[in-house]
Amino acid sequence: MSKHDRNTFRKAARSMIALGMLLALSGCAVFAPDPPQRQDNLCEIFREQPDWYDAARASQEKWGTPIATQMAFIKRESSYRAAIRPPRTKLLGFIPWKRPSSAYGYAQAQDPVWEEYQDDAGSLFSGRTDMDDATDFIGWYNARTHRSTGVSLNNPEHLYLAYHEGQGGYKRGSYRGKPGVQRAARDVATTASRYQAQLNSCEAEFQCDGAFEFWPFCRG
C-alpha cells in the first residue's frame, strides 16, 4: 500500500468511527474531573488526582519531558479544564461565529498536529480530554522539538515557544515579534520551576504502584 493510500485509508477510518467516538468522547468530557482547587501547588494537584501523576510519569519515562514541565504546559493551556476550546469570535460584534483555531482539550492540541500524533504515537481512540493522552502528546511533541531544533527537554521556556509557534516557526524566530508569547513562555518556565521544587518534596507519595504499597513505604 502506497503512502497516499495509507493516508486515504486513515482519513476514511476516522470518518467511519467519528460518530461513535463522538458519544464516547463527549462522555469522557462530561465525566472529566473538575479543575484542581489549588493549581499553584503540584503536590495538591496530584493529591486530588493521583492518576494524573501516573500519566505524567509515564510520559516522562517514554519521551523525556519532566513531569513538572508537562503540568506547567497544561496549566497554561487549559487550566486543567478537559473540554475547553478557544472562545468563538463575534460576527457584527454580537453574533457567535467561528473559533480562531481547532485547539481542544487539556493540551489545547489543534486538529492537524493531533492527527499527526495519532498516526505516529497515539491511536484513533486517543482523546484530547484524557489526561493520559494529553501528557503523552506533550511528551511526543517536545521530543520532536528536541530532535528538530536542539532545544533541551529541560528548557521549558523554549519548549513552550516551539509548542506555541510550531517547530518551523520557532526556527524562524516568529516568537521574537510576539511579546505576549514570550511572556507566556516565561510564565511556563516559572511554573515548571515551582512545580519541580514542590514535586521534590512530595513525589514519594505518588510512587506506590503495587497493590500492597502505601506511602511512605514505597520504592522510588
What is the average per-residue pLDDT within 67-83?
A: 98
Q: What's the predicted TM-score (pTM) here?
A: 0.82
The pLDDT of residue 212 = 46
The pLDDT of residue 210 = 52
List the single range of 6-10, 115-119, 183-187, 195-199 with lowest mean pLDDT. Answer: 6-10
Cα separation, 173 vs 169, whole angstroms:
6
The pLDDT of residue 101 = 87
What is the average per-residue pLDDT within 198-213?
A: 80
pLDDT digit string, tens, across residues 134-183: 999 999 999 999 999 999 999 999 999 999 999 999 999 999 999 999 99
Q: Write the single-letter amino acid at 120.
A: D
pLDDT digit string, tens, across residues 5-47: 555 656 555 555 544 454 444 445 567 899 999 999 999 999 9
Tell me the pLDDT band of 192, cut-offs 50, 70 and 90. Answer: very high
The pLDDT of residue 31 = 73
70 or 24, greater pLDDT:
70
**DSSP for 48-92, written as a single string:** H-HHHHHHHHHHHHHH---HHHHHHHHHHHHTT-TT--PPPPEET
The pLDDT of residue 209 = 59
Cα separation, 139 vs 133, whole angstroms:
10
Cα of 160 vs its chain's centroid, Å: 11
The pLDDT of residue 143 = 98
Task: Find the helix packing angle between 179-202 and 156-172, rounded to 10°.
Answer: 150
90: cell is: 463575534
Residue 121 has pLDDT above 70, yes or no: yes
Residues 6+ apart with CB under 8 A from 141: 113, 117, 163
50: cell is: 493521583
Cβ count within 10 A of residue 149: 16
Q: What is the mean pLDDT of the chain?
A: 86
